Structure 1
C-alpha cells in the first residue's frame, strides 16, 4: 500500500491528538486575542490546495486592523502577534484543516491564490500533494530563501515524498521552534510577494 494512504492516517492521528492536547491553551489564547483585537481571533483566507483547488485556511490573528491604507503589515503586527509567529503558534488552527482533509502536516506551504496564474507547469508541480503546516522549504530557510529556491525545494519534496523525509521534517521543525532558530525581527517576518 502506498505511503500516501498511511500519510493521511498519520495526519489524522497527529491532528486529533494535537488538538485534544492543545485545545485548552487554544481556547485561552482565543479569548486573549478577542480581548486584544476586540474582534474574531482567527484569520481566514482562501488558498490553493492539492491540484490548485481552493480552501479556507485558518490561523490565529496576528495583525491589528489597519488605521490607514498605506500601513504595512510590519506596522500592524502586535507584540503577541509577533510572539505567535516567532514560535509558529499562529499556525495551530490549521490542525482543523488537516482533519478536514484540506492540508497535511507535511507538504509545501499553501501560498496565495493570486500566484496561480504566475506559475509555469514546473511550479505547479508543488500542487500534486496537499499543502502542509510545515515543509521541506520551511526547514531549509523559510523567509530567507528566494522564491525559485523555495519552489525547487517544494518540488523536490513532491518527487521524493516518504515517511523518513516526513519524520526528518517534523524533527527539524520542532528543533527550530524550540531553539528559536530562524527567528526574525518583525520587519522580516513577512515574505516579499512573488512576481514572475
Structure 2
C-alpha cells in the first residue's frame, strides 16, 4: 500500500509540474508577448513628444549621438542591439556600471538627470516592440557582464526575454553581486507568471519614484 501511495504522490507531482510548465509557456509565448507589444506601442506613442525634448537637450548638452547603442544578449543568449538615451560623455570607458569608481564623473548634465529618473531606459520600448526584449525580465547585459551571462546559461535564466526591469533590479540593481543577480534571474524564469510581473512593475514604480539603486552605494 505504501508503494502505491508513493506512486500516486509522484504522479500527482508530475501532473502538477506539467500543468505549471504548460501555463508558463502559454503566458510567456502568448499573453506576455502580446501585452509587451501592446504596452510598448502605447507608451512609445505617449512618450513621443517628451522623447523629442529629451533628444534635443542631449544634443545641446554635449557632443555625441542622442542614442546609446550596444550589443546585448537576450533570449537564448542571442545578441541584439539595445537602444538607450546617451547619458555619458563620448569618451567614457566601456565597462559595467558597478565597475565604475565614480560613474557620476562620466555623466553629462542631462545624463545625470535622465539616469536619476530612469528616463534613459525609454528607448528600450523600441526593443520590446521589435521582440528583442520584454517589459519585465532579466536585465539585458553586455559582454562586460560575462560572469552573469555565463551563470544565466547554466541556470536557465536566458530562456526568457530580457526586460527593462526585473526581479534583480528590484532587489538591489547595482548593489548586489553577480551571483545574486543570476540567482534572481533564474528565480524569475522558473516562476514566470502574470502575478509576479505585476508585483515587479509595482515595486519598480516605487523604486523609480524613490530613485533607489540607480547608482552603486558610495557613488
Question: Normalising to structure 2: TM-score of the pair?
Answer: 0.77
Larger Rg over CA atoms: 2
Which of 128, 153, 164 is the aligned partner of 2:184? 153
Which of 36, 59, 68 is the aligned partner of 1:11? 36
Instruction: Give 1:134 deviation, angstroms.
Output: 0.2
Q: Cα deviations across residues 10-37 of structure 1 (Å, max 9, x unaligned)?
A: 1011101111111100011101111112
Cα separation, 1, equivalents of 2:80 and 2:153? 22
Aligned to 1:99: 129
Cα separation, 1, equivalents of 2:165 and 2:56? 26
Cα separation, 2, equivalents of 1:44 and 1:175? 28
* CA shift in 2, pair 1:51/1:33, >3 Å: same
Q: Does 2:138 align with 1:113?
A: no
Aligned to 2:203: 172
After the TM superposition, which of the residue ranges 160-169 and 32-41 deviates more from structure 2? 32-41
Instruction: Give 1:154 deviation, angstroms.
Output: 0.5
- The structure with more helix, counted as a fraction of residues: 2
Q: Cα deviations across residues 140-175 of structure 1 (Å, max 9, x unaligned)?
A: 111111110111011000000000000110111111
Would you say the 8 A contact 1:82–1:186 is kept in 2? no
Question: Normalising to structure 1: TM-score of the pair?
Answer: 0.86
Q: Does 2:74 align with 1:44?
A: no
**Secondary structure of the equivalent of 2:156?**
helix
Tell me the number of residue pairs that the alignment of Structure 1 and Structure 2 aligns. Answer: 187
Would you say the 8 A contact 1:59–1:93 is kept in 2? yes
Which of 96, 112, 116 is the aligned partner of 1:86? 116
Instruction: Give 1:118 deviation, angstroms.
Output: 6.8
Which of 81, 94, 111 is the aligned partner of 1:56? 81
**Secondary structure of the equivalent of 1:16?**
helix
Instruction: Give 1:66 deviation, angstroms.
Output: 2.2
Would you say the 8 A contact 1:59–1:94 is kept in 2? yes
Instruction: Give 1:78 deviation, angstroms.
Output: 1.6
Instruction: Give 1:86 deviation, angstroms.
Output: 1.5
Which of 120, 142, 145 is the aligned partner of 2:173? 142
* CA shift in 2, pair 1:39/1:187, >3 Å: farther
Q: Cα deviations across residues 21-72 of structure 1 (Å, max 9, x unaligned)?
A: 1110001110111111233110000011100111000000011122899x97
**What's the C-alpha RMSD, in Å, of the aligned pairs?**
2.6
* CA shift in 2, pair 1:182/1:172, >3 Å: same
Would you say the 8 A contact 1:123–1:151 is kept in 2? no
Would you say the 8 A contact 1:47–1:55 is kept in 2? yes
